[in-house]
Structure 1
Amino acid sequence: MTQISSIQTNSEANAVSSGKTILTVNNLKVHFPLGSDGFFKKNDRFVKAVDGVSFEVREGETLGIVGESGCGKSTLGRAVLQLISPTDGKVVWLGQDIAGLDSKTMRPHRKSMQIIFQDPLASLNPRRTIGDIIAEPLMTFYPQLSKQERRDKVKAMMDKVGLLPQMINRYPHEFSGGQCQRIGIARAMILQPKLIVCDEPVSALDVSIQAQIINLLTELQKEFGMSLLFISHDLSVVRHVSHRVMVLYLGKVMELADKDSIYRDPKHPYTKALISAVPIPDPDIERQKEQVVLKGDLPSPINPPSGCVFRTRCNYAESRCAEKVPVLEQTGVDHQVSCLKWKEITD
């Protein structure tokens, strides 16, 4: 677990609630077709990785995205950036629907949308110096810059992310995992984008390094004002870095709320289970807290359960849960839940 005490809490969560909306995702779907069962038999089955997700991101906001492995978090992040073509739905970026745009039409938008990957070393070209790696976006979008101008910008960004400028001619294998992630952050930040998708940026790092990277992202956000989609399995980290939290299960949104509401008063049984699994440092409180244990395993996204996709693992499921698909329902100010029984569960 990440050392929570050493992570800086984002204290501006309430301030961004009135911020300008820069990204609107509406009913986004990403379905991957399966291969054919044979020459004469067409296979019309699909892996429903993302299945009707809708949300908004505001300027300067961090939206945390949580859920088990296989729930569609990374696929959603890549679909927002159009690194994966959506099957259906809209991705409205700065007022323009970019869903399904070809690479040439999409290219101008790449300047304002970047990604930080989970594996820091694997995301860096081992044959290029870190100076060239960080400068690559500048060469693509600002070809008029001289070599010295690019070098100066790269050194300035290296300094901001905690790398010594004199390391500019070294190669990725000469750096630790935490340093490689700083290189990835510098590459993402060099164009000063408006949105960065952080795809589990600390899960591959040592516990002692995770808090440093989280604090760095928070400091950069305060300085440059960019928005973050922060994907993570670690709900403790998500709570400290996010303004709002979205809970995904089998490609669908189970709950979406500001971080204080969702941790203090979760409405969905899946959210309750995830939060109950987060260990509390105080052993007395840890022993006394209510444990919510999920039954069974995550169903296959090829053949998800009818009605509510969570019903096969829900302790509150009844017959109507298999017949009716729940929709996101407003339960309070900036709090939505997709559950037919949320009122009965929380009363």
Structure 2
Amino acid sequence: MSDAKQPILSVRDLKVEFQIKDTKAWPWTPTRSLKAVNGISFDLFAGETLGVVGESGCGKSTLARALLNLNPANSGSIRWMGQEMQGSTDAAWLSVRKDIQMIFQDPLASLDPRMTVAQIIAEPLRTHHPELSHDEVMAQVRTIMGRVGLTAQQINRYPHEFSGGQCQRIGIARALILQPKLIVCDEPVSALDVSIQAQIINLLKELQAEFGLALIFIAHDLAVVRHISHRIMVMYLGRAMEVAGKHALYDDPRHPYTQALLSAIPIPDPDLERGKVIQLLQGDLPSPLNPPSGCVFRTRCPKAQAQCADAVPELRTTTTPGSQAACLLTCTLSPGTTVKTCDTANGSTAPSAS
């Protein structure tokens, strides 16, 4: 992880909304707004991996696509290397696209079935570096194929001739061919067998160390995210519930949602696994078209109080170093002070000396 002081990517209050119309409603029925990403903020530094976890439908993939302008954000700020990209033109995005690449969730569906491996991996080079000759492009393609574990004999094959793990290696090679500074990985191992997952994750870690890559690694498997990430952001219904270093998050989770997620991780020791208590969440995931007022997690939270329905909790620094949580009932440090705010025995908040 780099010691750089300035983040290469800085996101502030990012919001992505979709207008949804009920196909069974009357034609004049107004559309409803679905807030897929609702006020996400984070910084990412060179050589760092930020893991993003949460249930299906929480906005992880929408966030990933918004960072590359594949799903344009409605508001907020996306600063890349100090340059504001939110609302920029397609030409401005094209100029930075070579530095930000993406690995997609479905390895086979993300590859054009009519193109050979050589054509797929070379396409970014031909787009961003048209001055390169055919021989120069092919030389770089062969080099990067060898680095991700593909052989030169496979260069003229088509995607359907490869396994899922090999297709994902092709996707990684395509993302690496431009030598980017950041790769956004949208659940890159969820469609693969466990043994292949380990190979791909280890490959990404090796490539990160070799090329100094920054990674945004999106997954729903907390064990996988722990293995590869430096920091982790937990999302729920489009909002960030907790952001912390991996050791702080796994050893001392501060948000009730994070605590419930971690309690469900299997333990390799059979004796410990039998004695483990899983925190079951009550109810179903609310509809993102009609999220709860106040804290979006309150309808399933075992610690919810009446005040949770009134105020939307913002991410605040907790008493655990390097941790932020969006919970009214979690000990937090007041900005610029050493005074912490904690829940009392009856659930109300009260200040206390740190």
TM-score interval, normalised by the smaller of the two chains: over 0.9
1:274-313 equivalences in 2 (<5 Å): 274-313=261-300
Which residue does the alignment assign to 2:147?
160
> What is aligned with 1:341?
329
Tell me if structure 1 keeps the 8 A contact 2:51–2:233. yes
> In 2, Cα distance between the equivalents of 1:40 and 1:281?
56
Aligned to 1:8: none
Within 2, Cα distance between the matches of 1:106 and 1:64?
24
User: Alignment partner of 1:198: what SS?
Assistant: strand
Asked whether 1:124 is paired with 2:111, we answer yes
Q: Distance in 2 between matches of 1:101 and 1:80?
A: 12
Residue of structure 2 equivalent to 1:254: 241
- 1:301-338 deviation digits (Å, cap 9, x = unpaired): 11100000000000000100001111111014321000
Deviation at 1:18, TM superposition (A): 5.0
5+ residue gaps in structure 1?
1-14
* 1:29 lines up with 2:6 in the alignment: no
CA change 1:316–1:223 in 2 (3 A) is: same
Distance in 2 between residues matched to 1:18 and 1:252, nearest whole Å: 27
> Offset of 1:19 from its aligned partner?
5.1
Q: Distance in 1 between matches of 2:322 and 2:88?
A: 31
For 1:194 and 1:119, how far apart are their aligned partners in 2?
23
CA contact (8 A) 1:247 1:254 kept: yes
Equivalent position amino acid for 2:327 in 1 = C
Distance 1:46 1:132 in 2: 40
Distance 1:16 1:61 in 2: 7
Query: Cα–Cα, structure 1 residues 223 and 256, in superposed 2: closer, same or farther, change >3 Å?
Result: same
Amino acid across the alignment from 1:300 = S
Q: Which has the higher contact order (CA 8 A, sep 6+)?
A: 1
In 1, are the aligned partners of 2:53 and 2:60 still within 8 Å (CA)?
yes
Structure 1's 39 and 61: CA in aligned 2 closer, same or farther, altered over 3 A?
same
Q: Deviations over 1:49-105 (max 9, x none)?
A: 000000010110000000000100000011011111101100011101111223222
- Deviant stretches of 4+, over 4 Å: 344-347
Unaligned runs of 5+ in 2: 332-341, 346-354
Secondary structure, in 3 states, of the residue corresponding to 1:246? strand
Q: What whole-Å deviation, never above 9, does each CA across 1:208-257 have from its counterpart, x for those lacking one? A: 11100000000000000010000001100100100000000000000000
Which residue identity lines up with residue 127 of structure 1 in the other structure? R
Per-residue displacement from partner, 1:134-188 (whole Å, max 9, x unpaired)? 0000000110111010000000000000000121111111111100000000000
1:314 maps onto 2:301 in alignment? yes
Pair 1:199 & 2:186 matched: yes
> Residues 1-347 of structure 1 correspond to what in structure 2 (within 5 A)?
15-16=1-2, 20-35=6-21, 37-43=25-31, 45-331=32-318, 332-343=320-331
2:186 and 2:290 map into 1 onto residues whose CA distance is 26
What per-residue deviation string (whole Å, max 9, x for no partner) do you get for residues 90-133 of structure 1? 00111011112232221111110000001101100111100000
Residue type of the alignment partner of 1:336: Q
Report the Cα distance in structure 2 between the residues aligned to 1:84 and 1:324, rounded to whole angstroms: 29
Aligned mates of 2:2, 2:50 — CA distance in 1: 11
Query: Aligned to 1:313, what secondary structure does the other structure show?
Result: coil
Q: Cα offset for 1:346?
A: 11
Q: TM-score if structure 1 supplies the norm length?
A: 0.93
Q: Which moved more, 1:282-291 or 1:147-156?
A: 282-291
Number of aligned pairs? 332
- Indicate the RMSD between aligned Cα atoms, in angstroms: 1.5
Q: Secondary structure at the match of 2:223?
A: helix
Paired AA for residue 312 in structure 1? T
Conserved? CA contact 1:82–1:100, under 8 Å: no
Deviation, 1:17, is 5.9
Cα pair 2:58 2:236 within 8 Å, conserved: yes
Larger helix share, 1 or 2: 1
Deviation at 1:291, TM superposition (A): 1.6
Shift in Å, 1:345: 7.2
CA contact (8 A) 2:248 2:321 kept: no
Distance 2:154 2:312 in 1: 55
Q: Please give the alpha-carbon distance, in whole angstroms, between the structure 2 residues aligned to 1:286 and 1:263.
A: 17
The AA in structure 1 aligned to 2:14 is: L
For the residue of structure 1 that corresponds to 2:156, the secondary structure is coil
Q: Report deviation, 1:262.
A: 0.1
> Whole-Å Cα distance in 2 between the matches of residues 148 and 238 of structure 1?
39
1:310 is paired with a residue whose SS is coil
